[in-house]
Amino acid sequence: MAKKDKKDGGKKDAPKLRKLKAKVAKLKSRLAGESVAPAVKKPLAVSPLAPRGGFPVLPVIGGVEFAAAAAGVRYAGRTDVMLARLAPGTAIAGAFTRSSTRAACVLDCQAKLASGGSAEAGAAIVVNSGNANAFTGADGQQAVDRVTGAVAEALGLPASRVFSSSTGVIGEPLPWDRIAAKVDELKGALDDEGIEDAARAIMTTDTFPKGACAEIEGDGGPIRIAGISKGSGMIAPDMATMLVYIFTDAKISARNLQKILSRNVDNTFNAITVDSDTSTSDALLLAATGASDAAEISDLRSRVAKEFEAALRGVMLDLAQQVVRDGEGATKFVEVQVTGAETAEDAKRVAFAIANSPLVKTAIAGQDANWGRVVMAVGKSGAKADRDRLAIRFGDILVAEKGWRVPDYSEAMTSAYMKGDELVIGVDLGLGKAAYTAWTCDLTHGYIDINADYRS
């Protein structure tokens, strides 16, 4: 009987043993500097919070073409490289992670934007998923140079106008040769309607591609905006593993484009959090091709400039919120509204103390109306607060104020509200007029499952 148990146990443990041996062999190959064949990995189930209509129909932006290919950067059979070619005259602005361990491609993009290369030459953006090329020493920059150099040569561009991004595993050398080998294929596949393929190519643990668009009437013709993003985990302010590429046919200088972009980042992409972890690789590139018939946006106080900025902010917020809706393991989309703070800084502190609290987020996952955890988060935030002036709402339901639970509080009503997949937590500090809104998701066992197996 004992022998049979041992035999059966051996069969049961065999898959685990094979997986362990495969990991050991892979590690030995990496240590030996050998190229490791890409693995195959099954896609994750689509988030229940994904937009109901799927990927939106985005307008063609004059002066932009897209292509995508499968280079086997990390996984076999997965489209993992995208290329965007931008017409001569394109102005480019950017925003990036402020992590002190920024990836080589982020540092390269920042340096290129700071140097202000000639827009007349045109530009290109090349992005890979599967490998972040972060914390890879001097080899990281060499890999960036190889990839951007290959694109520059193929498209007849100066390397200073080729911008790259990488997302995926940190600390592993980027197999740049696999990407460079696909450049001619990418060039041949460039298509002004290829933006959805590009959105899919930049996904890592994302479960759906993300896109958004807007259109305004300029002086002399329409101005269109279309953007894509990726992000699911390692999402927290400071450009919260997020990549964003937004394209417009507006005529506008790089300087004015940067001004508009910079003042709208904090209330969009820096107002979201999934897990409080800031990526090494976050990048947002905004490209304006000038292909619209509308007159140039030169006065940022003009009607068109204000409408353009509002439309761009709308696209940015849409993309940012889609990242939260695709949070790893997420089942609830949560808006945290803080009002009545003494200062704007205090309002933001309270919002993120709530949005990042594992106790708050797990209560939401369990559909538990545990407003006491919100009280806890306010108290730990470091912001000025007064127990007797504090009011807390779940949706339209007032649950606590003046230092105590409201007399007519209904646990049944509040618990019923928590069953929804879109929730609002409101906190009024009662101390001033400052306010801030942040967006987050719940914390489920799905998050653990994804991240415990991320490198497999």
Location of structure tokens 């699911």:
232
- 267 is known to lie in a ligand binding site: no
Provide the pairing of β-strand 64-69 with 333-341.
unpaired
The DSSP-derived string for 59-78 is PP-TTEEEEEE---SSBTT-
Closest CA to 99 of 282, 234, 313: 282
- 437 is known to lie in a ligand binding site: no
Provide the pairing of β-strand 283-288 with 243-248.
parallel
Q: Which two tokens stand for residue 88?
A: 């001569």
> What radius of gyration, in Å, describes the C-alpha atoms of the chain?
24
* φ, ψ (nearest 5 deg) of residue 284: -125, 120
- 131 is known to lie in a ligand binding site: no
Sign of dihedral through CA atoms 156, 159, 165, 169? positive
How far is Cα 25 from Cα 281, in angstroms, rounded to an integer?
28
How many degrees, rounded to 5, is the angle at CA 253 between CA 97 and CA 279? 10
Which secondary structure element, helix H or strand E, spans residue 288, and what is its range? Answer: strand 283-288
How far is Cα 139 from Cα 106, in angstroms, rounded to an integer?
14
Q: Which two tokens stand for residue 302?
A: 């003009």
- 148 is known to lie in a ligand binding site: no
First-to-last alpha carbon distance for the chain, in angstroms, is 36
Location of structure tokens 């004992």:
2
| Annotated active-site residue in 167, 241, 248, 273 | 241
Helix/strand/coil percentages in the chain, nearest 5: 35, 25, 40
CA 300 from chain centre, in angstroms, equals 28
- Angstrom CA distances, 143 to 37, 39, 125, 245, 370, stand at 18, 21, 15, 21, 49
- 292 is known to lie in a ligand binding site: no
For this structure, is 167 an active site residue?
Answer: no
Q: Is there a contact between 144 and 114 (Cβ–Cβ < 8 Å)?
A: no
Residue numbers annotated as active site: 241
Residues tagged in the binding site annotation for substrate: 204, 230, 241, 328, 451, 456
Binding residues: 204, 230, 241, 328, 451, 456
